[in-house]
Chains A and B, each alone.
Chain A
Amino acid sequence: MASLAPTFGRGAMTNHWVDIKNANLIVVMGGNAAEAHPCGFKWVTEAKAHNKARLIVVDPRFTRSAAVADYYAPIRSGSDIAFLGGMINYLITHDKIQHEYVKNYSDATFLVNGDYDFGDGLFSGYDKDKRSYDKSSWSYQKGADGYVLVDNTLQHPRCVFNLMKQHYSRYTPEMVSRITGTPEEQFLHICEMVAETAAPNRTTTFLYALGWTQHSIGSQNIRTMAMVQILLGNMGMAGGGVNALRGHSNIQGLTDLGLLSNMLPGYMTLAGDKEQDFTAYLASRTLKPLRPGQMSYWQNYPKFHVSLMKSWYGDAATKDNNWCFDWLPKLDKIYDVLQVFELMHQGKMNGYFAQGFNPLASFPNKAKIGGALAKLKYLVVIDPLATETSEFWKNFGEFNDVDPNKIQTEVFRLPSTCFAEEDGSLVSSSRVLQWHYKGADAPGEARGDAEIMAGLFLRLQGMYKKDGGTFPDPILNLTWPYIIPHSPSSEELAKEFNGKAVTDLTDPKDPTKVLVKMGEQLAGFAQLRDDGSTSSGCWIFSGAWTQAGNLMARRDNADPSGLGNTPNWAFAWPANRRIIYNRASCDAAGKPWDPTRTVISWSSRQNKWVGMDVPDMRLDAAPDENVGPFIMNPEGVARLFAVDKMAEGPFPEHYEPFETPIGTNPLHPNVISNPAARVFKSDMEAFGTARDFPYVGTTYRLTEHFHFWTKHARINAILQPQQFVEIGEDLAKSKGIKGGDWVKVMSNRGYIKAVAVVTKRLKTLTVNGQPVYTVGIPIHWGFKGLTKNGFLANTLTPYVGDANTQTPEFKSFLVNIEKA
């Protein structure tokens, strides 16, 4: 999501599952929707069947999605930016862009700081020692009025459009093919198909998932595609958008609630250790408009933040104590999973809670993860299943060859319920919060996660009360208003996220008029205030449980528009908006680009925006006010130039995977891989080279399984019982491997053994003049569960992540293979 927010303002799938059926062209790239999201993929088949849509799949493997595609092209894993950058170049040189859209709804016209530069693989401001950029030159030119300077003629050499054009002019079809291995004519064919949707009444939708995120340049992969969508004018349109398909049923909920070390609920951020001053903390996040009249919705940050603190600390949070700002941690750095395990590996951590998380299986370089866990004093595993992590200390032969005598970590296993054993809500990719009901009682002594956490909290709080301690305030003052304190209910938590009036809320224009009575649920985040009179545990969820009740439990599937929009089915954040940025579905005058797919439009009669969806716009913002459709961005428009939002540059640039099969970067041999990616010293040493490990390894999931869970479920185990790897026929032939043979796959970090599946679906690619073979490694096996015991695929993967999200590079690394 760290690529969409810098581009559009919000980090989420922009449209929704059902809306895919409205597309004219569907591009599945950086994902395998049929395999990983078969239920959502239904809407792709609907688009094909009822909208004559075409489906393109670009993937290193001929996937299950490719099996039903109209057009498939192979690509080398880790070269997507080259492909999409080439597509940007194609769209510009062939003049296949939606001019009105780009001019009005993107920053194409904005002038960029004169110091900004790019040359030989590096943007301006690089610090080689710190492996990071001083981003001050990655900014717009501002006028005396504080607003950004623009050139609506797009002639100025420093306008974003021209800088972008220049940047991607290097991505010629020949260069694209040289880097990606995609045959040039296939690349061009896809460009032609995509270019057709630059017409205002045609849309492309992109579906992607971990195939783009799990790279050291993952966020930039996605940003490149987002730029393509801006150029095509597809954002905000029904059947368009950028559709990040989330795999876990509630992984969208995880990011929404800020379960990342540097985040607060609702995409607010924790303060860094240099941000001790509350006013400065708020000021840097309360974004003022960069162009006149823009909504710049983050101007409301103080309302969201204060309401959050009121939700957490109730009466203890006052204006005088800065709403308990001092009680929040201030970060010296981001404590993402890779960082945490690095610290653990260095022996700097004593204890670790793995709640619904199986890091031994899910994180790269299993040997390092296992070694790190062995240095803990205690490990608590909260999970419905007996995970590999919970038995990392146990010897399972070759699969987990450890000596339990040498591991002193005390492991506590707390069995928890799974989602079907509790009431609650799940947030889907579409940002839809849908309430669900318990289907069965949990087995044995399993308890809900909330109950487990409450039990821990109440005991800790009791100890602080009894014994005191250093800095007890945040623990002692936390609000705990639940009827059964040791077991907060999902309903109570959901109401808390929505928020309520702490005192009577009166109309600012007429203080005698009470809008919301004290204690009542709020109707939405528009009612939040920064004076302590409202509370909300997650502002974007506000509106989900109002005085009208639990809107997440709504089940009205009426679709009045026929476009698959069901406003009374559950609840979508923000504000039950189903297609975000939907103001961009209309031209500057407020008329829909495609009247047959009207999402909203300006009604001059009613003087407001009306339509099938909740307008993503101030309702009375008349078109001539020129309020931009990307209301979260202070620019009001989408960013082709990401200013300082990305770690490795404002324009995506192709960098090779850290383990590259070609050993160079054809664009700039001096800067091969992501110069801003964080690499720990010992991990740099664990990278392999193409000399020893000549083949591209890539890990992925199969539709028969869900991560490392369903190997515990009999039916899934029957459907895919045993570990395998996939290789192409050429590689198999040269190695004397036949389908069904046992093979050993090695990286510089370890090896796995598996059954070989020899397939035509993995073609040999010619990259930079040399043949590149791919070894496909599905991840689902381990040494716990009902499937045949196998190796954790992450024995092989490298310990490096994306520079923005630290998502590990699971998709592209180097291996060797031999007959076992």
Chain B
Amino acid sequence: MALQTLDIQRRSATTTPSPDVRQNLQTIEVAKLIDVSKCIGCKACQSACMEWNDVRDEIGVNVGVYDNPPDLTADSWTVMRFSEVEVEKDKLEWLIRKDGCMHCADPGCLKACPSPGAIIQYSNGIVDFQEEHCIGCGYCIAGCPFNVPRISKKDNKAYKCTLCSDRVGVGMEPACVKSCPTGALVFGSKEDMIGHATGRIVDLKERGYANAGLYDPQGVGGTHVMYVLQHADQPELYHGLPKNPSISVMVSLWKGVTKPLMSLGLGFVALAGFFHFIKVGPSKEDESEHESEPH
């Protein structure tokens, strides 16, 4: 029911509430679950993302790893991150994590964005960039705890995964999920995905991954892209997935208290001057001083 809502619940640089007469209807929060333990790193999702969204990165070079393109770009909204780790001695693991936007419940990008409506959050939880409103300042990059948004060199606008909001909006799953051959990617209501993950975690624990768990960091209010990790106690193993991500204190200060306080402060300074003038009038040299001018 209503997974496909495109109602907007939050909008960047907007201080008034979004339309919310429909809020109490059955809008369901969506989530994509990425089961790292099932991922074979085939990059079908990367292909599908490029195809559906009509983006093509440049044909790059090999930098000494399997990861290619080696990082997220404005044209690569998802990339595979390959990490070779030995959690237990002599037991190599090749952890392959699909990286991309986490669609935070409390999105740092949206918080940082200065342009009204350039970043929106649908009531199903998808965080989407509206590039026609984007001014290219890159504040979203500073705001994001996961280092996801990228500014395009072509048009200086910020891009990232949309969770295929256009597909979800018509009742389809994101293109990456559709393409995943092993079922490492699944999509549905967040509740169902948590349920699915619970089953996967039982299976992983039975296979000896005692610390298997779900990655749904509460520091950003939970995410609408979640991971099943074999080592949920050490998310950093997965190419530096942050352990307790939250919006940086710097960003919170900047977009939290400073924003209204300093705006008020400026108003106060200006008003203080005005009322000072009203109260004491101009500061003038005395007439006498004119007369006592030396001759």
Given A42-B183, A722-B61, A787-B59, check contact A760 B41 (CB 8 Å).
no
A722 touches B62 (CB 8 A): yes
B96 touches A715 (CB 8 A): no
Determine the distance from Cα of A756 to Cα of B64 in the docked complex, in whole angstroms: 6
- Cβ distance A794 to chain B, nearest Cβ, rounded Å: 20
Closest Cβ of chain A to B39, distance in Å, is 7
Specify the main secondary structure of chain A where it touches its partner: mixed
Known A-B contacts A64-B42, A719-B68; the reply to A714 vs B181 at CB < 8 A is no
Measured between alpha carbons, how far is A141 from B181 in the docked complex, in Å? 51
User: CB-CB < 8 A to A739: which residues of B?
Assistant: 63-65
Closest to A740 in B: B64
The reply to whether B84 and A761 contact each other, CB–CB distance below 8 Å, is yes
Whether, in the assembled complex, B167 has its beta carbon less than 8 Å from a beta carbon of chain A, the answer is no
B183 near A719: Cβ-Cβ < 8 Å: no
Residue of B nearest to A46 (CB): B183
- Expressed in whole angstroms, the Cα–Cα distance for A756 and B62 within the complex equals 9
B60 at the binding interface (Cβ < 8 Å): yes
A721 at the interface (CB under 8 A from B): yes
| B94 engages A714 (CB within 8 Å) | no
Counting residue pairs across A and B whose Cβ atoms lie within 8 Å, the total is 124
- Check: A99 CB closer than 8 A to any chain B CB: no
Interface string of B171-188 (1 = CB under 8 A from A): 000000000011110000
B42, A718: Cβ atoms closer than 8 Å: no
Query: Distance in Å from the Cβ of A307 to the closest Cβ of chain B?
Result: 40
Closest residue on chain B to residue A760 by CB atoms: B84
Q: How far is the CA of A49 from the CA of B66 in the complex (A)?
A: 27
Does A269 touch B at the CB level, under 8 Å? no
B269 within 8 A of A: no
A466 to B83, CA, bound (A): 69
Q: Is B43 an interface residue (CB 8 A)?
A: yes
Smallest Cβ-Cβ distance to A719: which chain B residue: B43
User: When the two chains form their complex, are residues B94 and A757 in contact, meaning their CB atoms are under 8 A apart?
Assistant: no
Bound CA span A759–B92, Å: 11
Q: Determine if B181 and A39 form an interchain contact, defined as CB atoms under 8 angstroms apart.
A: yes
Contact indicator A38/B42 (Cβ below 8 Å): yes
Q: Which of A44, A67, A787 contacts B41 (CB 8 A)?
A: A67
Q: Are A715 and B68 in contact (CB under 8 A)?
A: no
Cβ-defined contact, B94 with A67, below 8 A? yes
The reply to whether A704 and B43 contact each other, CB–CB distance below 8 Å, is yes
Give A566 to B121 CA distance when docked, in angstroms.
43
- Residues of A close to B76: CB separation below 8 A: 718
Specify the main secondary structure of chain B where it touches its partner. Answer: loop
A49 and B40 within 8 A (CB): no
Q: Which of A31-70 contact B (CB under 8 A)?
A: 34-35, 38-39, 41-42, 44-46, 48-49, 52, 62, 64-68, 70
- B64-78 near A? 1/0 per residue, CB < 8 Å: 111011000000100
**Chain B residues near A723 (CB, 8 Å)?**
62
Given the complex, which residues of B lie within 8 Å of A49, measured CB to CB? 38, 183, 200, 203
Question: Could you tell me if B181 and A718 are in contact, using CB atoms closer than 8 angstroms?
Answer: no
- Within A722-777, the residues touching B (CB, 8 Å) are 722-724, 738-741, 755-761
Please give me the residue from chain A that is nearest to B66 by CB atom.
A757
Beyond A38-B44, A721-B61, A757-B64, is A66–B94 a contact (Cβ under 8 Å)? Answer: yes
Q: Which residues of A contact B58 (CB under 8 A)?
A: 718
Q: Is B191 an interface residue (CB 8 A)?
A: no
Residue tally, chain A, CB below 8 Å to B: 47
Measured between C-beta atoms, what is the minimum distance from A269 to chain B in Å? 37
Shortest distance in angstroms between B130's beta carbon and chain A's nearest beta carbon?
26
B92 and A41: CB pair below 8 A? no
CB-CB under 8 A from B51, the residues of chain A are 715
Contacts of B38 in A (CB 8 A): 45, 49, 68
B236 contacts partner chain A, Cβ-Cβ < 8 Å:
no
Q: Are A714 and B64 in contact (CB under 8 A)?
A: no
Q: Check B233 for interface membership: any CB of A closer than 8 A.
A: no
| Residue of A whose beta carbon sits closest to that of B184 | A45
Q: Chain A residues with Cβ under 8 A from B41's Cβ? A: 64, 67, 703
Report the minimum CB–CB distance from A653 to chain B (whole Å): 32
User: Does A671 lie at the interface of the complex (its beta carbon under 8 Å from any beta carbon of B)?
Assistant: no
- Let me know if A476 is at the binding interface, CB within 8 A: no
Chain B: residues with Cβ within 8 Å of the partner, total of: 41
- Check B181 against A41 for contact (C-beta < 8 Å): yes
Q: Is B20 an interface residue (CB 8 A)?
A: no
Contact indicator B56/A721 (Cβ below 8 Å): no
Within the complex, the shortest CB–CB distance from B202 to chain A, in Å, comes to: 11
Chain B residue numbers with a CB within 8 Å of A165 are: none
A757 and B62 contact, CB distance less than 8 A? yes
Distance in Å: Cβ of B83 to nearest Cβ of chain A:
10
List, in ascending order, chain B residues with CB within 8 A of A758's CB: 64
Q: How far is the CA of A52 from the CA of B207 in the complex (A)?
A: 9
> For the complex, is B166 an interface residue (Cβ under 8 Å from A)?
no
Question: Within 8 Å of chain A (Cβ to Cβ): is B27?
Answer: no
CA distance A717 to B68 in the complex (A): 10
A720 at the A/B interface (Cβ < 8 Å)?
A: yes
From B57, B63, B66, contact of A718 by CB (8 A): B57
A440 to chain B, nearest CB (A): 15
Distance between B210 CB and nearest chain A CB, rounded to angstroms = 15
**A688–chain B nearest beta-carbon distance, Å:** 27
Mask, A594-609, CB within 8 Å of B = 1, is: 0000000000000000
Q: What is the distance, in angstroms, from A791's C-beta to the closest C-beta of chain B?
A: 14
Q: How far is the CB of B62 from chain A (nearest CB, A)?
A: 4
Q: Any chain B CB within 8 A of the CB of A786?
A: yes
Q: Is the CB of B62 within 8 A of A755?
A: yes
Check A788 for interface membership: any CB of B closer than 8 A: yes
| Cβ-based interface call for B37 (8 A) | yes
Q: Are B61 and A64 in contact (CB under 8 A)?
A: no
Known: A64-B42, A714-B56, A718-B68. A788 touches B183 (CB 8 A): no
Q: A41 and B182 in contact (CB under 8 A), knowing A67-B41, A715-B47, A738-B64?
A: yes
Would you call A38 and B181 a contact (CB within 8 A)? yes
Complex interface: chain A residues within 8 A of B64 (CB): 724, 738-741, 755-758
Q: In the complex, which residues of chain A have a beta carbon less than 8 angstroms from the beta carbon of B47?
A: 715-716, 719
Q: Nearest 7 A-B pairs (CB), nearest first? A: A739-B64, A740-B64, A34-B40, A67-B94, A722-B62, A38-B42, A755-B62
- Other A-B pairs, 16, CB within 8 Å; known A38-B40, A715-B56, A719-B43: A38-B181, A42-B181, A45-B183, A49-B200, A67-B39, A67-B40, A67-B94, A70-B207, A704-B68, A717-B59, A719-B69, A721-B61, A723-B62, A755-B64, A756-B64, A786-B59
Subset of 28 A-B contacts with CB under 8 Å: A35-B40, A38-B40, A42-B181, A46-B183, A48-B203, A52-B203, A52-B206, A64-B41, A67-B41, A67-B94, A68-B39, A704-B42, A704-B68, A714-B59, A716-B47, A718-B56, A718-B60, A720-B62, A722-B60, A738-B64, A739-B63, A739-B64, A739-B65, A757-B65, A758-B64, A760-B84, A760-B92, A761-B94
> Which residues of B are at the interface with A, using a C-beta cutoff of 8 A?
37-44, 46-47, 50-51, 56-66, 68-69, 76, 84, 86, 92-96, 181-184, 200, 203, 206-207
